Copies of this chain bind each other. A is one copy, B any other.
Amino acid sequence: MKTIGIIYKPNLEKIAKIFEERLKKERFLVKFVTSTISSTFNGVDVSLIIGGDGTILKTVKKLNSPIIGFKGGRLGFLSSYTTKDLDKFIKDLKENSFVEDRRSLLKVYNKHIEKYCLNDAVAMKEPAQKMVDISVSFKDGEFYFHADGVIVSTPTGSTAYALSLGGSILLPNVNAFEITPIAPQFLATRSVIVPDTEEISVKTNYKILLILDGEIVGNFDFFKIKKSDKQIVLLRPKDYDFSKSIKEKMGYGKNFFTQVR
C-alpha cells in the first residue's frame, strides 16, 4: 500500500493538503490530490476521500482502487475515519491493518441506459406531476403502489433515503434489497425486503424521474434492477463495527449496561 490518491470535497482543500504533506513525510507516494474527478483514476493502491458520504457516493464509481473515507465531525456510514484520526490512520496504513468492507452495486437498465448505483434507485414523480401508478415485480411476486414514487435500495442504501421514509436498517452483509414506496396512498407504507437474487422490474403509468445515488439520469416508465457483479471496496480500521455508525448517527440506544455489567 504505497501509492495513494486523494479526492476532497472543495471546502476541505486545507485538510487534503495536511493529509498530502503528512503522507509524503511518511514516504508514501501521493499520485493525485484533486477535488474534481472527470474520468477513471488508476494506478494507486488506495484512494482517500475527504468529505462525507455524499462525496464518496459521487466519486467511488469512478475509482478502481479500494477507498478510505474521512469525514469531519462524526463518522458517516461510508467513512472509516474522521479527519481528526490522521495519526491513527497513518499507523494503520503503515501496518496495512485494515479490513475490507465490500459493497455490491445495483445495475439499473432498460433499452436506453445501463447505470450503476451504490445506495439506491429512486423513481419519483416531478413536483408538478400527478401521483403515479407503480408496479414493482419480480419472480416471486408483484406489488402495486399509487404513490409519489418508489425506492429500491441496497443494504448500503437502507440507511439513506429509505430510512427517512420509514424503512428498516439492513446490515451490510444481508443478501437482500429493500423496496420502499414514497408517499403511498392506501397505507401500503411498509418496506418490502426481497432476496438480492431477484431481478426487479419497475413500471409506471407515465414517465417519471429516475435518480441513482442522488443523480438524475432521465425520465422513464420502465426499468429493471439487479445486483451487479461490480463491488466497491471500503477499507475499515480493524475495530470497525457497522452498529457503531448506527448508534452514533442515529442515537440508536446507548449502553445502559456499563453500570450493571
Contacts and interface: CB of A to CB of B under 8 A. Distances in A.
Interface of A: 133, 135, 140-146, 155, 158, 163, 166-171, 173-176, 178, 184, 186-188, 190-195, 203, 205, 241-244, 246-247, 250-257, 260
B140 A186 contact: no
**Copies of this chain, how many?**
2
Contact of A251 (B186, B194, B244): B186
A145 B253 contact: yes
Nearest to A146: B256
B175 A195 contact: yes
A173 B243 contact: no
Nearest to A256: B133
Given A144-B257, A256-B133, A167 B190 contact: yes
B178 A176 contact: no
A143 B247 CA distance: 8
A169 B141 contact: no
A193 B169 contact: yes
Q: Which 6 A-B pairs have the closest CB atoms?
A: A141-B243, A144-B253, A133-B256, A168-B191, A168-B168, A170-B193
Given A168-B191, A168-B192, A174-B193, 7 more contacts: A140-B243, A144-B252, A167-B168, A168-B190, A173-B195, A186-B251, A188-B250
Contact of A171 (B141, B187, B256): B141
Interface centre among A141, A163, A254 (most CB of B within 10 A): A141
B195 A174 contact: yes
Contacts of A158: 193
A257 B193 contact: no
A167 to B, nearest CB: 7
A75 to B, nearest CB: 14
A244 B256 CA distance: 43
15 contacts: A133-B260, A135-B255, A140-B171, A140-B173, A140-B243, A141-B171, A143-B253, A144-B247, A155-B193, A170-B176, A186-B251, A187-B251, A188-B250, A188-B252, A192-B246
